[in-house]
Each structure stands twice: as structure tokens, then as C-alpha cells.
Amino acid sequence: MSKATKDQRVLPAPLVKIFSYVDEHEKKFIETLSQAVSIKSVSADPDLRNDVVKMMQWAQVKLIELGATTELCDIGSQVLSGKTVPLPPVLLGSLGNNPKKNTICLYGHLDVQPADISDGWDSEPFILTERNSKLYGRGSTDDKGPVLGWLHAIEAYQKTGTDLPVNLKFVFEGMEESGSIGLDQLLIKKKETFFNDVDYVCISDSYWLGTEKPCLTYGLRGMCCFGIEIEGSSKDLHSGMYGGTVYEAMSDLIFILNQLVDLKGNILIPGINEDIEPLSDKEKELYDKIQFDVDAYINEISASQPLQETKQQLLMNNWRYPSLSIHGIEGAFSGPGFKTVIPRKVIGKFSIRLVPNQDPLKISKLVKDYIKSIWEKRQSPNKLEIITEGDGGNPWMTDPFNPHYLAAHKATESVYNIEPDYTRGGGSIPVTLTLQEVTGKNVLLLPMGSGDDGAHSQNEKIEVRNYIEGTKLMAAYLYEVSKIKISSP
């Protein structure tokens, strides 16, 4: 910690032993991560599907070694790149069933994003490589490192002869990077059985806000995706042969896209902001306290300036207010150079990130009505269709002052000697909502990795420090959460 204050922690005895064990086994834990990273469990690549399966089996062996009962659940198959391929099984596990202990459900994923050294990696992405106390490799931080953190935290309890104070349920999947296909159905099916006795859910698949300070995440935005399809003709036209004689689909589309959002990011759709939860003083205070360097954030991406001046405004805009982004156009010319085409049909893609209490279906209707009203004004003879992707995803938020978060707060202090920031995320982690629904219990997002780890990017890494301290944090979390008194139903 660059700004660490004087260490005032008085660690409970079990954690002293456990933390020492973790420190002493740093080399072994890195070796295990190295093994996990070497398995090319890229869920997007049908040719690597067997490696994802292998990865799930590898994790199953690890759970069995810890004494868990496990099941690799078949969740069917998918069509990928024109081939029908089986989905990788979901690994469910249970460790302990003492009715006096709280039962914690842990979620993680073992598949990864595609990676190739030719993408611009400085070392082979599937060979974990340590440079400057950082462990580079695909999946190191997203999400193999955090999954192993849980396993090593449990090992530390067991090998130090410390009673594991909670029962655990594990949900490890192999399709997270490819939309978690098949997962929701399985989880819903297991609602009355596997998830029946869960008291809390903890997910470690997100990141610190910055690089210096741990955080607890209590909210995520939802999302609606839209496609505006304009069709002008049955084939692409040569702009020489047809330019000046036809109503061009592209200019119609640009006309609509230009009326979605203004320079300052204000969404121009009437009524869009109606349901946004008002800002309370207590919530505002959380923003004031957060350690966040706006300049560093903007410099990191080499932008000219942030959309808002202050830290608070910036974070609120990303976390608690909706935003609309235009992603691109399908069907138009997108290559380098020039192709003088009048595209026959173009689909403008944009999405809106949703916040409490926006309802995706209501938002979707507002958007469609608005686009139709613009289209009527345009008076173009071309054809308009508005495409939506599924029903959209709900935003997620929980009370950051509940006992579950308080336990994680204490765990954070015991490892880092600092209060965690309370953050939200601008993106979505759909499984959060599903696990909340099937358990009916509180979900905590407990990040291990740093904000600059580069999940999904070249040179993804996890710092040795975060990997080790994060493992301690998980152990401390299990300790603290075990002490919550839950009244029997």
C-alpha cells in the first residue's frame, strides 16, 4: 500500500497461521496457476473445446483433493462456427454440510479469452511468465487466479489444522467468456436442491477500481442492445452507377444515430431518466471517500479529457447513471482504404447501460418509440427495422451496509490494514443476478485483481502481491462470514 497507515491489525489466531501458510506457499501457488494457465481453455474456439473440458476436469481433481464432492454437469451443446460442439460441463462442488455453519456459494470461471503472441503479447500467453513481480498469462487474473485463490485459501485452513468455519458450494463454469451459454438453465434447475441451503454468494471475477486500494463492489449496470436496420435495396450498389438516383440507407441510419446522444453523453430519448434511483446522502458519501485518480484514468487510455470534471461525477456517470454508446455499423464498408459502395442494408448497433430502477423492457419500448418517431419525420421510403438482443439485462445493486459486506469489510482490513472502497461497476456480470435469484441471498463481489490487469487484453497479468494477498483476503472473508448470525427461517 503506498498510503498504508500504521498497522493496527490484531489478527485472530487462526488467520495468523493461515496467512503465514499462504506466504510460505507463494511459489507453490504460482506453480499451480502456471499449470492452469497452460491449459488453453478458450471457450470461443471450437477447436479448443476439449481444452476447456480438460480445464474443468483439472479443477474437479483439485476440488476432490480438498475433500469436496463434485459433479460435472452436462449442459448440452451449441453451434459454433457452423459446428455443433458440446458445451463444457459446469463443475458443481460441495464441501462440508454442518448445519451449524453458514453456507457460502463461490462462483468463478475457468475459460478464457482468445490469445496469441502475435496479438502483441511480450511472452507466450499460455505460459505464465513472471516479470517484475507480475505474472503474465491469459486467465491469470480473469479468472483462473481468483478461482485458485479460493482453493488455496481452503488448503491453508486444512493444512494448518484450522477447522473450515463455513460450508462451501462451488459453481465453476467454462463458458463465461462466451456468454455463459447453458449456465442459467442449470442454476435455475438446481434452485431447490444444490442452492437450497446457501446463505451467501461470493463472486471474485472483477477488479479493483485502481491499482492501490481494495474494494467491495455492490452494484452493476444492466444493458439493452439495439440494432437499427435500414434497407434501401436488394444489393450493394456502385456509387458511380447509382449515386444520385437512390435513397441511401447509410444517410438514413446516420440521421437516426445522430439523435441518440449528445456531445456530453446525455441520452436524447425522452423519459429515459425517469426511473433512475435518486442519489441519497449516504450513497453520495461513499463516492466522496473513494480513492480514484481521474487524471490517471484518462491518461491510461490517452484520452484528451474526461467527460466530467470531478471524481464523483465521473464515477456516478459510469455506475449510477445510464450511458449510451454507438458501437458500429454492420453491412457498411469497414475495411481500410476506399470502396465506393452504397451499402444495401446497414445495421447501426448501440447499447444503453441501465441502472437501478430502470426496467430493460420499459427502456426498450421508449427507445423503439423514439426511433420510430424520428423515422416518421425523416420521410424516407427505405425500410426500418429495430432489432433488440434478448430482453436486455437488469441492473444489479445491493445494500453495501449489510452484514455480508461488513464481514468482507473486516476481512479486507485484516489483510490490507485499510478500509475498502465501495464501488460499483459500469458493466454487467449477468451471473450475479442469476445467483441472487436462485439463492434468494445476498451476493458480494470481492475482487482480487488490480484495475490495470488487462483482462481480455494483451499481456493480461496478475501481480504476485494481489494473488497472494487476495488469497489471504478470501481466507479472511470465510472466517468473517462464518461469524454472521443467521436466524433460521
Q: Which residues are catalytic?
A: 111, 176
238 known ligand binder: yes
340 known ligand binder: yes
- Residue 40 Cα to chain centre, angstroms: 20
205 known ligand binder: yes
With 0-12 / 13-18 / 19 or more C-beta atoms within 10 angstroms meaning exposed / middle / buried, residue 341 is: middle
378 known ligand binder: no
142 known ligand binder: yes
Minimum Å distance from CB 172 to a copy of itself? Answer: 23
Stretch that binds a copy of itself, among 84-92, 134-142, 232-240, 412-420 (CB under 8 A): 232-240
* 215 interacts with a copy of itself by CB under 8 A: no
Minimum Å distance from CB 282 to a copy of itself? Answer: 22
Minimum Å distance from CB 466 to a copy of itself? Answer: 18
Minimum Å distance from CB 293 to a copy of itself? Answer: 13
* 307 interacts with a copy of itself by CB under 8 A: yes
Which three cell numbers mark 27?
511459489
Which three cell numbers mark 132?
517484475
Out of 126, 297, 396, 405, the only residue in the binding site for a copy of itself (CB under 8 A) is 297
Residue carrying C-alpha cell 456459494: 105
Minimum Å distance from CB 120 to a copy of itself? Answer: 11
**CA–CA distance from 421 to each of 56, 292, 361 (Å)?**
33, 10, 32
Backbone φ and ψ for 244, nearest 5 degrees, come out as 100, -5
Considering the complex, state which of residue 87 and residue 324 has its C-beta at the smaller distance from a copy of itself.
Answer: 324
**Are 355 and 322 in contact, with CB atoms under 8 Å apart?**
yes
404 known ligand binder: no
Report the 10 Å Cβ neighbour count for 485. 6
Minimum Å distance from CB 349 to a copy of itself? Answer: 6
What does the alpha-carbon distance between residue 42 and residue 460 come to, in Å, rounded to a whole number?
A: 14
* 382 interacts with a copy of itself by CB under 8 A: yes
According to DSSP H, which parts of 92-169 are helical?
A: 144-159
Out of 257, 290, 406, 418, the only residue in the binding site for a copy of itself (CB under 8 A) is 257
Minimum Å distance from CB 201 to a copy of itself? Answer: 21
* Collapsed DSSP state (helix, strand, coil) of residue 381: coil
What does the alpha-carbon distance between residue 247 and residue 219 come to, in Å, rounded to a whole number?
A: 45
Minimum Å distance from CB 394 to a copy of itself? Answer: 14
452 known ligand binder: no
What does the alpha-carbon distance between residue 217 and residue 85 come to, in Å, rounded to a whole number?
A: 35
* Collapsed DSSP state (helix, strand, coil) of residue 231: strand
351 known ligand binder: no
The residue type at 393: G
* 218 interacts with a copy of itself by CB under 8 A: no
- Counting residues that bind a copy of itself (by CB under 8 A) gives 84
Out of 265, 283, 437, 442, the only residue in the binding site for a copy of itself (CB under 8 A) is 265
* 238 interacts with a copy of itself by CB under 8 A: yes
**Are 344 and 231 in contact, with CB atoms under 8 Å apart?**
yes
Stretch that binds a copy of itself, among 28-36, 102-110, 131-139, 226-234 (CB under 8 A): 226-234
With 0-12 / 13-18 / 19 or more C-beta atoms within 10 angstroms meaning exposed / middle / buried, residue 301 is: exposed
Residues 6+ apart with CB under 8 A from 170: 63, 68, 70, 91, 92, 93, 94, 95, 105, 106, 108, 150
* 306 interacts with a copy of itself by CB under 8 A: yes
Out of 323, 432, 434, 450, the only residue in the binding site for a copy of itself (CB under 8 A) is 323
Of 31, 25, 19, 20, nearest to 130 by C-alpha is 31
Subset of 96-125 contacting a copy of itself (CB under 8 A): none
248 known ligand binder: no
In 33-99 the beta strands, taken as DSSP E runs, fall at 69-73, 77-80, 83-86, 90-95
Longest CA pairwise span in the chain (Å): 82
Subset of 402-461 contacting a copy of itself (CB under 8 A): 425-428, 456-457
Residues 6+ apart with CB under 8 A from 315: 287, 290, 292, 423, 424
Stretch that binds a copy of itself, among 27-35, 53-61, 120-128, 253-261 (CB under 8 A): 253-261
Subset of 326-355 contacting a copy of itself (CB under 8 A): 326-330, 332-344, 349, 351, 353
What is the DSSP annotation of 158-177?
Answer: HHTTPPP-SEEEEEEES-GG
Out of 51, 143, 176, 248, the only residue in the binding site for a copy of itself (CB under 8 A) is 248
* 31 interacts with a copy of itself by CB under 8 A: no
**String of contacts with a copy of itself for each residue 450-479, x by CB under 8 A:** ------xx----------------------
- Binding-site residues sit at 109, 142, 177, 205, 238, 340, 353, 428, 456
Indicate the annotated binding residues for Mn(2+).
Answer: 109, 142, 177, 205, 456
Query: Residues at the annotated binding site for substrate?
Result: 205, 238, 340, 353, 428, 456
